[in-house]
Amino acid sequence: MIKAVRGTRDILPPASAVWNHVERIAREVFRSYNFGEIRTPIFEATELFARGVGEETDIVSKEMYTWEDRARAQSEKTQSLTLRPENTAGVVRAAIEHNLFESGQLQKLYYIGPQFRRERPQKGRYRQFSQIGAEVIGPPSSGSESPLRDAEILEMLATLLDELGITGWTLELNSVGSAADRAKYNETLRAALVPVVSQMCADCQRRAVTNPLRVLDCKIPADQPIIDTLPVIADSLDEASRTHFAVVTASLDAAGVPYTLNHRLVRGLDYYTRTTFEFTHGGLGAQNALLGGGRYDGLSEVLGGPRAPGIGFAMGEDRLVLTLLAALDQKAAAQQKAEAFIAPLGESLNAAALVLARELRHQGLWIELGEGSFRLKKSFEAADKTAHHIVILGEDELKSGILTVKNFSTGIQTKVPRAELAVFLAEPPRE
- Of 177, 212, 293, 305, which one interacts with ligand HAM (CB under 6 A)? 293
- DSSP SS3 for 297: coil
Distances (CA, A) of 398 to 212, 375, 382, 387: 79, 18, 22, 21
Q: Does 90 bind ligand HAM (CB under 6 A)?
A: no
- Nearest approach, Cβ of residue 284 and ligand HAM (Å): 9
Q: Where are the beta strands (DSSP E) in 262-376?
A: 273-281, 289-295, 310-316, 338-344, 367-369
Helix (H) or strand (E) holding 377: helix 376-386
Residue 292 in the binding site for ligand HAM (CB under 6 A):
yes
C-beta closer to ligand HAM: residue 291 or 369: 291
The binder of ligand HAM chosen from 137, 291, 324, 349 (CB under 6 A): 291
Residue 231 is given by DSSP the state: P
In the bound state with ligand HAM, the residue whose beta carbon lies nearer, of 164 and 356, is 164
Please identify which residue in 45, 179, 201, 289 interacts with ligand HAM, judged by CB under 6 A: 289
339 near ligand HAM, rule: CB under 6 A: no
Is residue 54 part of the contact set for ligand HAM (CB under 6 A)?
A: no
Q: What minimum distance in Å lies between the beta carbon of 166 and ligand HAM?
A: 13
| Binder among 9, 27, 125, 264 for ligand HAM (CB under 6 A) | 125
CA distances from 23 to 111, 124, 161, 316 (A): 10, 18, 12, 12
Residue at shortest CB range from ligand HAM = 316
Q: How far is the CB of 388 from ligand HAM (least distance, A)?
A: 36
Q: Which of 318, 339, 368, 397 binds ligand HAM (CB under 6 A)?
A: 318
Residues 6+ apart with CB under 8 A from 354: 369
Any contact of residue 270 with ligand HAM (CB under 6 A)?
no
Q: Using DSSP, state whether 141 is helix, strand or coil.
A: helix
Cβ-based nearer residue to ligand HAM, 207 or 274:
274
Give 288 or 386: the residue with its C-beta nearer to ligand HAM: 288
76-84, 97-105, 124-132, 363-371 -> range binding ligand HAM (CB under 6 A):
124-132
φ/ψ of residue 36, rounded to 5:
-115, 155
Which of 211, 136, 223 minimizes the C-alpha distance to 176? Answer: 211
CB of 120 to ligand HAM, least distance (A): 9
**Smaller CB separation from ligand HAM, 135 or 339:** 135
DSSP 269: S
Minimum separation from the CB atom of position 276 to ligand HAM (A): 9
The DSSP bridge pattern shows strands 367-369 and 338-344 to be: parallel
Q: How many CA atoms lie within 13 A of 422 on its CB side?
A: 12
Q: Is 134 helix (H, G, I), strand (E, B) or coil?
A: strand
- E strand or H helix at 412, and its extent? none
What is the rounded distance in angstroms from the CA atom of residue 239 to the CA atom of residue 219? Answer: 31
Q: In the complex, what is the shortest distance from the CB of residue 278 to ligand HAM, in angstroms, rounded to a whole number?
A: 6
- What DSSP assignment string belongs to 301-312? HHTT-----EEE
Name which of residues 297 to 316 contact ligand HAM (CB under 6 A): 312-314, 316
- Under the binding rule (CB under 6 A), the answer on residue 44 touching ligand HAM is no
Q: What residue type is 84 in one-letter code?
A: R
- Cβ atoms of residues 235 and 187 within 8 Å: no
3-state DSSP call for residue 35? coil
Binding string, residues 128-157; x marks residues near ligand HAM by CB under 6 A: -x-x-x-x----------------------
Under the binding rule (CB under 6 A), the answer on residue 356 touching ligand HAM is no
CB 20, min distance to ligand HAM, A: 19
Residues near ligand HAM (CB under 6 A), total: 26
DSSP state of 119: P
Residue 119 or 371: which CB sits closer to ligand HAM? 119
Helix axes 15-32 and 147-163, enclosed angle (nearest 10): 140
Q: Which segment (119-127, 338-346, 347-355, 384-392) binds ligand HAM by CB under 6 A?
A: 119-127
**Helix boundaries (H) for 82-124:** 88-97
| Residue ranges binding ligand HAM (CB under 6 A) | 86, 88, 117, 119, 124-126, 129, 131, 133, 135, 268-269, 289-294, 296, 312-314, 316, 318-319
